[in-house]
Amino acid sequence: MKKQIITLILIIFCLNGLFARDEKYIQAMSASISALNGLDKGQPAPKALQEIANRFERIGAEQAREWLPCYYAALCYIKLGFVSENLAEKDRFLDLADAMLKQAETLAGKPNDELLILLAYAAQSRLAADAMNRWEEYGEKFANHIQAAQKLNPGNPRSYYLEGAGLFYTPEQYGGGKEAAKPTLSRAVANYASFKPETTIHPDWGKEEAAWLLGECNK
């Protein structure tokens, strides 16, 4: 009986330790996600993006089995790929994003629509960095990742947001423009209305941007 009581006490002690670590992890992730969401959506400050990416990488080092810290670090580096000033710097950040995404894929251990969407976003950033020379390679990669994400989870709004944004900023003579983007952005906005992330720290970005783009299409 005494042995059973001691075993029970040890189990409770271990569980309390696990809950404390989980709570610390969620708090750290929530604070970092809030900091990322608080940046200017049109032109986030590069220094702030790098600092937030560093925060996610530190969380990932402490929580080596979790894929979300790598995901968010990659998201920061993709955004840095968009806002950096020169091609070499853009590619350096996107190389870091690729490394984080590869790590996240390994940790996730199964097909994941959110990671496919981020792979598409990274391809879109590579394309935007040098569209004249990269449209064929990265345009195809973007399309393939988006299609795979939509097949895996048609209810995820981010795949339609990115696809619609790509069409919106593509010249009409190349098949883009407001009218071409409007149906896809409409679906994105509709999906956002019903979308619920798996937890409070799972991906839930893009809603405001999709709504703004659709509003521009309607003007």
CB within 8 Å of 132: residues ≥ 6 apart: none
Instruction: Tell whether 97 and 1 lie within a shared domain.
Output: yes
**Cα–Cα distance, 93 to 78 (Å, whole number):** 7
Residue 103, phi then psi, degrees to nearest 5: -65, -40
**Cα–Cα distance, 98 to 11 (Å, whole number):** 40
pLDDT band at 5 (very low <50, low <70, confident <90, very high): very low
Dump pLDDT digits (tens) for 163-172: 999 999 999 9
Residue 16 confidence (pLDDT): 42
DSSP string across 107-149: HH-S--HHHHHHHHHHHHHHHHHTHHHHHHHHHHHHHHHHHHH
Instruction: Tell whether 152 and 178 lie within a shared domain.
Output: yes
Dump pLDDT digits (tens) for 73-132: 999 999 999 999 999 999 999 999 999 999 999 999 988 999 999 999 999 999 999 999
CB 111 within 8 A of CB 152: yes
Instruction: Tell whether 198 and 124 lie within a shared domain.
Output: yes
Instruction: Tell whether 104 and 3 lie within a shared domain.
Output: yes
Task: Return the CATH number at 171.
Answer: 1.25.40
pLDDT band at 3 (very low <50, low <70, confident <90, very high): low
pLDDT band at 186 (very low <50, low <70, confident <90, very high): very high
**Cα–Cα distance, 165 to 53 (Å, whole number):** 24
For the chain, the domain total comes to: 2
Last residue of one domain, picked from the residues 108, 136, 167:
108
Last residue of one domain, picked from the residues 78, 108, 138:
108
Instruction: Tell whether 116 and 164 lie within a shared domain.
Output: yes
Instruction: Tell whether 100 and 120 lie within a shared domain.
Output: no
Domain span at residue 129 reads 110-219
Last residue of one domain, picked from the residues 64, 83, 108:
108
Instruction: Tell whether 92 and 178 lie within a shared domain.
Output: no
Candidates 46, 48, 25, 19; CA nearest to 35 is 48
Dump pLDDT digits (tens) for 27-80: 999 999 999 999 998 899 999 999 999 999 999 999 999 999 999 999 999 999
Dump pLDDT digits (tens) for 170-185: 999 999 999 999 999 9
- The HSE-up count of residue 52 (CA atoms within 13 Å, CB side) is 27
Instruction: Tell whether 162 and 206 lie within a shared domain.
Output: yes
